[in-house]
Amino acid sequence: MKKLIVFICVVFVVFSCRSKKGIVTKRSTQNTKVVNRKTEEKSLEDIKVVPRVYASNTERYIDAHKVTAQEEMRLYGIPASITLAQGILESGSGNGRLSVKANNHFGIKCHGWTGQKIYHDDDARQECFRKYKDAKYSFRDHSLFLSERKRYSKLFMLKKEDYKGWAKGLKLAGYATDPKYPRKLISLIERYNLSAFDQEVLGKPYARYQAVKVNEHDTYRVVKGDTLYSISKRHNITVKELQSLNGLQDASLNIGQVLVIKSSSKNN
């Protein structure tokens, strides 16, 4: 009888120890999860978004509008470097009155504009300038302003990476009266390496092509509905020849784009 009582007591003790161990283990696991969760929350709190620091307002302007300038280059063929340089110069890196009050980054005057307007002293007192809801509309209007006016048509015959030719051509076409306008644009492009944005759009390696001597009778301005094939048939030239003369890597065209359709140089 004594042996039986001793056996029962031993079994009871062993069972009690196992139960306590299981409970302790379970609590330990729960405590570990709570600690890990708190540590994770603390780590997330420590992560802070550090705002980008710009060396100048010009660098901030470039970063804010480079994507828009590149998109305009893809659609209208105007070098992104030229668009950005003009924007910097005309808007005072986005701090000028026209850009702040009217989102007008290129100093484009009304010229029959039917939208909102702002008046500003320029060549004369209180001249009429265009006003936009957003800066992106100013960039688009700049593209349309250049591509839809005949006096700028020769610019579109230049190589897309020829920012120096574009800078000089803008002055010759009457975009600005300042005789140092081309030099100022070129200086901005080279100082801030804006031509790198052109190369991103053009792709690497970019198929450079030789310039050809042309006159107005050897060019064609793209209109809505045109394709390389339809233009080639109209002017009795192959699609490959059109691409070669104009340095085109694909079949994409932009309304208002000026294409060389005939070369006066036998070598080209």
The answer, yes or no, to whether residue 19 has pLDDT greater than 60, is no
Q: What is the average per-residue pLDDT within 146-155? A: 93
pLDDT over 70 for what percent of the chain?
Answer: 73
Condensed to tens digits (0 to 9), the pLDDT of residues 205-238 reads: 444 433 344 455 678 888 888 888 899 888 898 9
The number of beta carbons lying within 10 Å of the beta carbon of residue 54 is 13
Q: What is the average per-residue pLDDT within 110-114? A: 88
Lowest mean pLDDT among 100-104, 178-182, 185-189, 237-241: 237-241
Condensed to tens digits (0 to 9), the pLDDT of residues 86-101 reads: 999 999 999 999 999 9
Lowest mean pLDDT among 63-67, 115-119, 156-160, 204-208: 204-208
- The DSSP secondary-structure symbol of 220 reads E
Helix or strand (DSSP H, E) at 128: strand 127-130
pLDDT of residue 33: 56
pLDDT of residue 210: 36
Domains of the chain: 57-202 (1.10.530.10), 216-260 (3.10.350.10)
Nearest C-alpha neighbor of 142 from the set 93, 190, 199, 75: 75
Angle at 242 between CA 158 and CA 76, to 5 degrees: 45
Three-state SS for 126?
Answer: coil
